[in-house]
């Protein structure tokens, strides 16, 4: 391979679009390396039963190309994991991207050389490639978090993690299965597994608020409505906080009176989906308003679940709605009314250990054939830190980020010139509909590289002081929200042992963030050092 202008790492939504813009819009010599054997990113690895996106399909796709938008026909309100993967394959084929992608190519190490202003990328197996620019499109939720539990090696059954689900068809029929974890993933996988198992034991450390998804097949009329309203959907999505194609309410919860409050909430509940969070303007900012919504959901759980002890365990929240990422579900709470399903709260007594045929909790043995860990991810920073990244003067990213993930706008890291992170820490990323945040980042990076080339400059790098000031801004924004009203969430990094604690994404909204990024670019990339 000839010397490259740019290397892109990861073939999910970010990497594919970045490859297209750099290769076909800027005419750069680019190549993309992907660890998996297919496109898809997180949607490749998370192929567990029930995996489905909780953003609606008309918005969980690219908006940069209207023709592609019109050619693809989604079949359901929320796309299944397989359908998202098929969609990404379709886009990659349409844009003729496959010829610039190497699959089964895991990047192990990358090092910057000041003298040549080049990055050297090394793959597992030793092959190396040089490029001036590197774009990390490694995903926010791509590094699985597998707890270490004593005597795991003694277990004779199968241990699976939802985030690295095997390709083979796993049969649960007539088996005793345990699921650990009740976040968005657990809430999706539990009802699916419960359909065929002999018994399902759910080990819950923290209950999760969940809203009905109300998934359904899309008919031609609905599909056409989305296509005919493309410009409107796009406009609404990029000009709001969360990147979804609806406007959030501007009415605070107590302004309309409690009967009306509950009417509005009931209507949003019946409609289903994440727009429930936006049914009032102050749910994420005002504790009193939030408690109305939290109590509304608690009542729904208690009405749904027959056994009062299970209902209480499922709704025993020690944090407000939205402090942790709420889930969308299809009959999650109803699943606990099945005779073959039981909930074990491990809040006070964690799983003690494995033995050859199950796990022990509080000296009670639970016999199991399969244990499914739906225990989430080392989010946002995990997939970057899995690679040994060495910047200027031998600076290692792991050491640089030991205390906090210092970066500017989630786009660049001081001492790591010409390295860009798509939806990196300190950007809205996981707080938004991801494709909108991704397109905004990719467009910004593409414009930045184009300007550098036109200005005949060699490199761009975040300044240390600007990066620290941005981290202050990220903290300030988070203090205005409910996100800090829990001591434990993957947003805070507390789910991973040894990870620095602090709210990672930017919570000021995608609209505000986009304006900040654009202003910085128009202002000669203030805060960045160009040389
Ligand atoms: O992971 P999570 P996830 N012992 O970290 C528990 C996106 N997503 O994969 O809360 C026992 O949220 C942990 O307990 P606790 C979405 O953004 C999207 O479910 O730490 N339990 C928690 O219950 C989502 O938010 C979609 O006390 C342990 C669970 O495991 C994000 O991915 C679908 C444990 C982990 O929940 C992550 O969701 C799925 C231990 N040692 C995911 N360690 C869609 O678009 C962890 N837990 C639909």
Q: Percentages helix, strand, coil for the chain, rounded to the nearest 5? A: 35, 20, 45
Q: Is 392 helix (H, G, I), strand (E, B) or coil?
A: helix
Q: What is the pLDDT of residue 72?
A: 98
Please give the structure tokens belonging to residue 485.
């009203």
Q: What is the pLDDT of residue 256?
A: 76
Torsion, CA 3, CA 26, CA 423, CA 465, rounded to 10: 80
- Sheet with 351-355, edge to edge strand ranges: 351-355, 358-361, 364-367
Predicted TM-score (pTM) of this structure? 0.97
- Ligand 1 centroid to Cα of residue 222, in Å, is 32
- By the 10 Å C-beta count (0-12 exposed, 13-18 middle, 19+ buried), 261 is classed as buried
Is 205 close to ligand 1, i.e. is its CB under 6 Å away?
yes
pLDDT tens, per residue, the chain with 531 residues: 667 999 999 999 999 999 999 999 999 999 999 999 999 999 999 999 999 999 999 999 999 999 999 999 999 999 999 999 999 999 999 999 999 999 999 999 999 999 999 999 999 999 999 999 999 999 999 999 999 999 999 999 999 999 999 999 999 999 999 999 999 999 999 999 999 999 999 999 999 999 999 999 999 999 999 999 999 999 999 999 999 999 999 999 987 778 889 999 999 999 999 999 999 999 999 999 999 999 999 999 999 999 999 999 999 999 999 999 999 999 999 999 999 999 999 999 999 999 999 999 999 999 999 999 999 999 999 999 999 999 999 999 999 999 999 999 999 999 999 999 999 999 999 999 999 999 999 999 999 999 999 999 999 999 999 999 999 999 999 999 999 999 999 999 999 999 999 999 999 999 999 999 999 999 999 999 999
Paired tokens of 295 = 């109590």
Q: How far is CA 38 from CA 8, 201, 212, 383, in A?
A: 15, 33, 31, 18
Judge contact between 312 and 504, C-beta under 8 A: no
How many Å apart are CA 410 and CA 379, to the nearest integer?
14
Q: Which pair of tokens denotes residue 382?
A: 């995990």
Question: Is the CB of 331 inside a 6 Å radius of any atom of ligand 1?
Answer: no
pLDDT digits (tens, 9 = 90+) for 368-401: 999 999 999 999 999 999 999 999 999 999 999 9
Q: How far is CA 419 from CA 5, 123, 452, 454, 459, in A?
A: 12, 17, 13, 18, 9
Nearest CA residue ID for atom 20, ligand 1: 495
Cα 52 to the center of its chain, rounded Å: 13
pLDDT at 95: 98
**Strand ranges, E, within 55-195:** 101-102, 107-113, 118-123, 128-136, 158-161, 176-180
User: Which amino acid residue places its CA nearest to atom 44 of ligand 1?
Assistant: 53
The single residue listed with the structure tokens 């919570």 is 507
CA-CA distance, 87 to 95, in Å (whole number)?
12
Give the tens place of pLDDT for each residue, 242-300.
999 999 999 999 877 788 899 999 999 999 999 999 999 999 999 999 999 999 999 99
CA 259 to ligand 1 center in whole angstroms = 34
Residue recorded with tokens 């200005």: 455
Which residues are CB-contacts of 96 (< 8 A; sequence separation ≥ 6)? none
Q: What is the structure's pLDDT at 497?
A: 92
How much is the pLDDT for 1? 64
DSSP secondary structure of 3-39:
PEEEEEE--SHHHHHHHHIIIIIS---EEEE-SSSSS
Q: Is 100 in the pocket of ligand 1 (CB under 6 A)?
A: no
- With beta carbons less than 8 A apart as the criterion, state whether 30 and 158 touch: no
Expressed in angstroms and rounded, the spacing between residue 192 Cα and the centre of ligand 1 is 17
Distance 383 CA to ligand 1 centre (A): 16
- Which residue from 368, 367, 69, 396 is spatially nearest to 229, judged by alpha carbons? 69
For residue 408, CA distances in Å to 91, 468, 470, 524 come to 30, 8, 6, 15
Beta strands in 191-279 (DSSP E): 199-204, 210-212
Position in ligand 1 atom list of the atom nearest CA 373: 30
475 close to 406: Cβ distance less than 8 angstroms? no
Is the CB of 147 within 6 Å of ligand 1?
yes
Burial of 531 (0-12, 13-18, 19+ CB in 10 A): exposed
Look at ligand 1, atom 6, and give the residue with the nearest C-alpha. 181
Rounded to an integer, what distance in angstroms lies between the CA atom of residue 430 and that of residue 422? 12
- Residue 148 CB: number of other CB atoms within 10 A? 6
Question: Which backbone phi and psi does 192 adopt, to 5 degrees?
Answer: -70, -50
Name the one residue in this structure whose structure tokens are 């008309």.
Answer: 58
How far, in Å, from the CA of 462 to the mean position of ligand 1? 32
418 closest CA partner among 125, 124, 22? 22
């Amino acid at each position: 391979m000839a010397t490259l202008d740019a290397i892109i790492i990861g073939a999910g939504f970010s990497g594919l679009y970045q490859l297209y813009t750099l290769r076909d819009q800027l005419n750069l010599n680019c190549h993309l390396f992907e660890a998996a054997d297919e496109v898809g990113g997180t949607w490749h690895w998370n192929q567990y039963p029930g995996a489905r996106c909780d953003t609606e399909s008309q918005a969980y796709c690219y908006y940069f190309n209207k023709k592609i938008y019109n050619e693809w026909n989604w079949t359901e309100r929320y796309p299944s994991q397989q359908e998202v993967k098929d969609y990404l394959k379709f886009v990659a084929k349409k844009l003729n991207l496959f010829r610039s992608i190497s699959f089964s190519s895991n990047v192990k190490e990358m090092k910057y050389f000041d003298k040549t202003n080049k990055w050297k990328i090394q793959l597992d197996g030793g092959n190396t490639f040089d490029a001036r620019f590197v774009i990390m499109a490694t995903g926010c939720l791509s590094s699985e978090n597998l707890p270490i539990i004593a005597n795991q090696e003694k277990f004779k059954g199968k241990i699976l993690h939802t985030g690295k689900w095997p390709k083979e068809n796993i049969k649960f029929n007539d088996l005793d299965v345990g699921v650990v974890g009740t976040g968005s993933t657990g809430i999706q996988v539990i009802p699916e597994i419960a359909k065929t198992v002999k018994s399902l034991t759910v080990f819950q450390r923290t209950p999760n608020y969940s809203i009905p998804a109300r998934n359904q097949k899309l008919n031609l009329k609905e599909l056409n409505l989305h296509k005919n309203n493309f410009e409107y959907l796009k406009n609404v999505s990029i000009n709001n906080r969360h990147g979804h194609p609806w406007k959030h309410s501007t009415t605070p919860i107590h302004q309309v009176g409690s009967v009306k409050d509950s009417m509005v909430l009931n209507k949003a509940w019946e409609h289903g989906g994440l727009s429930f969070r936006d049914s009032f303007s102050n749910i994420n900012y005002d504790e009193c308003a939030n408690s109305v919504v939290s109590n509304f959901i608690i009542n729904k759980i208690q009405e749904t679940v027959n056994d009062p002890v299970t209902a209480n365990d499922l709704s025993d929240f020690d944090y407000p709605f939205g402090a942790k990422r709420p889930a969308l579900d299809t009959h999650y709470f109803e699943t606990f009314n099945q005779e073959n399903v039981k909930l074990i709260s491990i809040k006070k007594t964690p799983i003690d250990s494995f033995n050859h045929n199950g796990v022990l909790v509080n000296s009670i043995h639970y016999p199991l054939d399969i244990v499914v860990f739906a225990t989430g991810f080392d989010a946002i920073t995990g997939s970057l830190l899995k690679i040994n990244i060495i910047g200027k003067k031998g600076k290692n990213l792991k050491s640089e980020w030991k205390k906090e993930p210092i970066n500017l706008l989630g786009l660049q890291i001081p001492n790591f010139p010409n390295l860009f992170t798509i939806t990196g820490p300190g950007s809205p990323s996981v707080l938004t509909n991801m494709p909108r945040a991704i397109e905004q980042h990719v467009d910004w990076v593409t414009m930045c590289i184009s300007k550098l080339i036109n200005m005949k400059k060699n490199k761009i790098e975040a300044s240390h002081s600007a990066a620290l000031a941005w981290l202050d801004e990220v903290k300030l924004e988070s203090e205005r929200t409910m996100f800090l009203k829990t001591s434990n969430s993957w947003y805070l990094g507390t789910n991973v042992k040894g990870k620095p604690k602090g709210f990672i994404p930017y919570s000021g909204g995608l609209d505000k963030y986009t304006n900040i990024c654009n202003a910085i670019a128009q202002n000669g990339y203030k805060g960045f050092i160009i040389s």
